[in-house]
Structure 1
Amino acid sequence: MTKSDTDVPAGPRRRLLDLAQERGASLAGLSELIGRNPSYLQQFIRKGSPRKLEEGDRRTLARFFGVAESELAGPGEISYEPPSNPADPRGSPWIEVPRLAIGASAGPGALPAGESAFDAFRFSRRWLAEQGLEGAELSAITVEGDSMEPLLNDGDEILVDRRALPFRDGIHVVRMGDTLMVKRVASAGGGRLSLLSQNLAYPPVSVAAEDVEIIGRVVWKGGRI
């Protein structure tokens, strides 16, 4: 370590220099990695110019070294750092939820048109974690019909958590034969389930549990006001 190295103050500049030396990476090479001129990081570390790393540069360097982005940031430079996710090496703060080409009937029932994704909703990873949905297997489908009004309206989009979790009463998407429905599902005892509509014009339906496939639990809805 040279005398000029020891003059670098503690903080992001010092941490970047230490990481580069530990990895045996040149500052010129790291500058090229982030698309800058070869002397860019040399100037940042030795002279404090620029005063801080740009967000994109900081993120690229953090991924290269396998460290948290906050290690290369000064106080207040990061308002939120997404948690690491081994299944998503990009460390994106967003999760894309596929919109499936399926209508879940909230009326007499409808035949599914297929399960291919035609679009996606993007949700904040942090927001999903706050809702208890971190790691959930989510799909978005459209509500069709009026039997779940006013809770769910025709045309609403719903998020369905398709994880195989222990059953509990709630709003679920279920399949009976070739028919996909969204209903409030409650245990009726004796191996039977009650499929309940919010709209009182639709009477409850009692079915044997083995005749119903529970696709997933409805955990969120969105629609026009």
Structure 2
Amino acid sequence: MSNPRDRLLELARRQGTSLASLSEMIGRNPTYLQQFIRKGSPRKLEEQDRRVLAGFFGVDEEELGGGGASGAGGEEKSYAPRARLPLDAAWIDVPRLALAASAGPGATVAEEEPFDAFRFSRRWLREQGLDGSMLSAIAVEGDSMEPLLRAGDEVLVDRRPQPFRDGIHVVRMGETLLVKRVAAQGRGRFTLLSQNLAYPPQEVSADEIEIVGRVVWKSGRI
């Protein structure tokens, strides 16, 4: 059996996951697994930590130091089904905010307080290049983005600061929120575009709008 420290490091690199994020996933301080691998402290992973990590990577616990009858620590081999990642470690709750972004004339900004949450797979978010702590979900009102977005759909908004790219964004104009396709026109000008051709494009200057975030996912009835 390979060294559990080497194996853990190999799995983390293969998955593209940092040791700090894995440490936080198992409820430890960010340097915990770095110290385990580099300094040998702790000497071996605790059973619960090992179980969570093995479930996350989809490997047998023995690969991370779980011993069979003759394995490390003299632990008995378990023939129970492989443990899976606990819900609080495998999933991230993204808040559903009590406000809406209009695909029509504009929705008045309400209290930005969560009333519920969508639960997303931590792995899926990572595969999409998304940071769960910078996401929120809001509802769509109006019909200007039909058929792409319909009234009652909810959209996932990525609020990370990042260089602007044309695409569908939630923008704030004064006291209203809009969800539109936003295209840069240069010289500090933007065009707000609707999917529904009954709504004409709207040209605005950079100081007239605040780009809240990029829409990266939607949910809604079929």
**TM bracket (short chain):** 0.5 to 0.7
Give the equivalent residue in structure 1 for 2:47.
Answer: 61
Runs of 5+ unmatched residues, structure 1: 1-9, 16-58, 83-89
Asked if structure 1 preserves the Cα contact closer than 8 Å seen for 2:148 and 2:195, the reply is yes
Alignment size in residue pairs: 162
Paired letter, 1:96: D
Shift of 1:68: 3.5
Q: In 2, distance between residues paired with 1:77 and 1:161?
A: 37
Could you tell me the TM-score, scaled by structure 1's length? 0.64
Q: Is 2:181 the partner of 1:201? A: no
Shift, 1:74, TM fit:
7.4
Specify the code of the residue in structure 2 equivalent to 1:103. A
Q: TM-score, normalised by structure 2?
A: 0.65
Larger Rg: 1 or 2? 1
1:162 corresponds to 2:148: no
**Residue ranges of structure 2 left out of the alignment (5+ in a row):** 5-44, 55-60, 67-76
1:95 is the counterpart of 2:84:
no
CA distance in 2, matches of 1:198, 1:163: 25
Contact persistence 1:136–1:162 (CA under 8 A): no
Decide whether aligned partners of structure 1 residues 185 and 81 sit closer, same or farther in structure 2, where only a CA change above 3 A counts: same
Distance 2:96 2:210 in 1: 20
Check whether the contact 1:136–1:163 (CA below 8 A) recurs between aligned residues.
Answer: no
Q: Distance in 1 between matches of 2:46 and 2:144?
A: 50
Give the one of 174, 178, 203 matched to 2:175: 178
Structure 2 Cα separation of the partners of residues 191 and 75 of structure 1 = 64
How far off is 1:186 after superposition?
Answer: 0.4
- Shift in CA distance, 79/134, structure 1 to aligned 2, threshold 3 Å: farther
Which amino acid in the other structure matches residue 183 of structure 1? Answer: K
Determine the structure 2 residue equivalent to 1:123: 120
CA contact (8 A) 2:96 2:117 kept: yes
Deviation, 1:119, is 0.3
Given the superposition, is the C-alpha separation of residues 157 and 91 from structure 1 closer, same or farther in structure 2, using an over 3 Å criterion?
A: closer
Asked if residue 149 in structure 1 is aligned to residue 131 in structure 2, the reply is no
